[in-house]
Amino acid sequence: MLRKYSYTSTLIYLFLLNCVAIFCNFFYPGSLLELLKEDGWAEWSTFFSLILNSILCFLIFLKSRKEVNNKKAFTTYLISGLVFFFGAGEEISWGQRIFGIETPQKLKEINLQGEVNLHNLIIGGVKVNKVLFSLLPAIIIIIYFFILPQLIKRNNFIKKMIRQWSVPVPELKEAIFLIIISSTSLILNNSRKWELLEFSISTLIFLIFLRAGKVEEDS
Domain count, the chain: 1
Q: How confident is the model at residue 81 (pLDDT cuts 50, 70, 90)?
A: very high
Using CA of residue 183, residue 15, residue 7, residue 67, what is the dihedral sign?
Answer: positive
Mean local confidence (pLDDT), 191-202: 94
pLDDT at 48 over 70: yes
Are residues 168 and 211 in contact, defined by beta-carbon separation less than 8 angstroms?
yes
H helix or E strand, kind and range, residue 197: helix 193-218
pLDDT at 63 over 90: no
Taking the C-alpha atoms of residue 79 and residue 189, their distance in angstroms, rounded to an integer, is 36
Backbone Cα Rg of the chain: 19
For 98-155, the pLDDT digits (tens) are 888 899 998 888 998 889 998 889 988 888 888 888 899 999 999 999 999 999 999 9
Q: Which DSSP state fits 121?
A: B
Q: What is the per-residue burial (b if ≥16 Cβ within 10 Å, else e) of 2-22?
A: eeeeebeeebeebeebbeebe
For 14-31, the pLDDT digits (tens) are 999 999 999 999 999 999
Identify the pLDDT of residue 109.
87
Using CA of residue 99, residue 121, residue 89, residue 74, what is the dihedral sign?
Answer: negative
Mean local confidence (pLDDT), 48-64: 92
Mean local confidence (pLDDT), 146-175: 95
- What's phi and psi for 111, nearest 5 deg? -110, 125
Are residues 35 and 46 in contact, defined by beta-carbon separation less than 8 angstroms?
no
Taking the C-alpha atoms of residue 80 and residue 3, their distance in angstroms, rounded to an integer, is 21
Higher pLDDT, 72 or 86: 86
Beta bridge mates, 126: 123
- Average pLDDT of every residue of the chain: 90
Q: Which residues span the domain enclosing 175?
A: 2-218
Mean local confidence (pLDDT), 64-90: 87
Are residues 103 and 114 in contact, defined by beta-carbon separation less than 8 angstroms?
yes
Helix or strand or coil: residue 46? helix
Mean local confidence (pLDDT), 162-188: 95
Q: What is the pTM of this model?
A: 0.91
Q: Which DSSP state fits 155?
A: -
Please, which residues have CB within 8 angstroms of residue 142's CB and are 6 or more apart in sequence?
Answer: none
Higher pLDDT, 87 or 6: 87
